[in-house]
Amino acid sequence: MVNENGPLDADDLMMLAERAAQLPASDAEWVGILLHELQRARTHEAELLAARASSGGPVDHGDGELGEQLAQIALDTAEWLRTLWNVGYMGAGNFRSLPRSAFPSIDLEDIRKSSLFARIRQGKYALPFPPPTRHGLPWHELLEGAEQVHPVEAEIVRDETGQPQGAIIEACAEWLVIEETSENQAYVVQHQGLGPVYRLRFAGGQAAELQRESPTLKRRICLQRRGGFHSYTLEWLGENGRTQLVSLRAATWDRAESEAEHWLATTHPEMYGQVCFERCEE
């Protein structure tokens, strides 16, 4: 009997070929063509596996084990989908469906355009809040890129009294105006009240520059060396004036700062990007 849970072996194929020969002529013809195509595909598969083995590449033996690269992609995909559900945004667009009761459909274009998925594939943390968008696509570079000044198209939305109510920057209408400065057509803005603060300067019409403001707070990251071991700790001053010590899973200063940024984005997203870190050793 043919094993329905695994690939057909040579005896199975021979048995099927013998049974096909007993079919009526009208059916035997097309079944024979199908079996021939099956044998051709099986031969081609064997040739591919042999070529991969001879080149020293990983061979998929069909036993359910994943290669390292495929396993990492699976982990990254799981992290991406978890973030989409918990946070509610994706690369090809935004969706707001709180309370979410059903996961939204995802097509190939969403995967290809998702900067969030690309970010996770690069080994970076997913932000716990939606980043600003630029013409509908997440604008992670604005939050984390080295470039501090970005040419943009923007406009200020005002109420009936002329007071600024918000800003539309690069087709994103979720910017808050924190302050209208005394400078000519300059504003301090923040996206949804979360993340870094920026200064928006108009040059004429809708042409403007968006410049990230320098951090206004400073917190210490301390390296402790004891008994041959070392650890990094963030000193965070809470609203009650008490200092909270946050352990950072890191082995280097750069990773410690990255972990501190991730902790800040998770616990105090309204201050993310507004804190610089001072290194100290104890």
In terms of Cβ atoms closer than 10 Å to its own Cβ (0-12, 13-18, 19+), residue 15 is middle
Q: How many other CB atoms are there within 10 angstroms of residue 26's CB atom?
A: 7
Tell which wins on pLDDT, 122 or 217: 217
Q: Which of 71-85, 87-101, 131-145 has the lowest mean pLDDT?
A: 87-101
Highest mean pLDDT among 62-71, 82-91, 104-113: 104-113
Span of 4-13, 80-89, 102-111, 266-275 with lowest mean pLDDT: 4-13
Tell me 67's DSSP state. Answer: P
Strand runs (DSSP E) across the chain, as ranges?
A: 89-90, 93-94, 133-134, 137-138, 149-158, 164-169, 172-180, 186-191, 197-204, 207-212, 217-226, 229-237, 243-248, 275-281
| 3 or 171, higher pLDDT | 171
End-to-end alpha carbon distance in the chain? 73
Cα separation values, 162 from 54, 159, 165, 166, Å = 74, 5, 9, 12
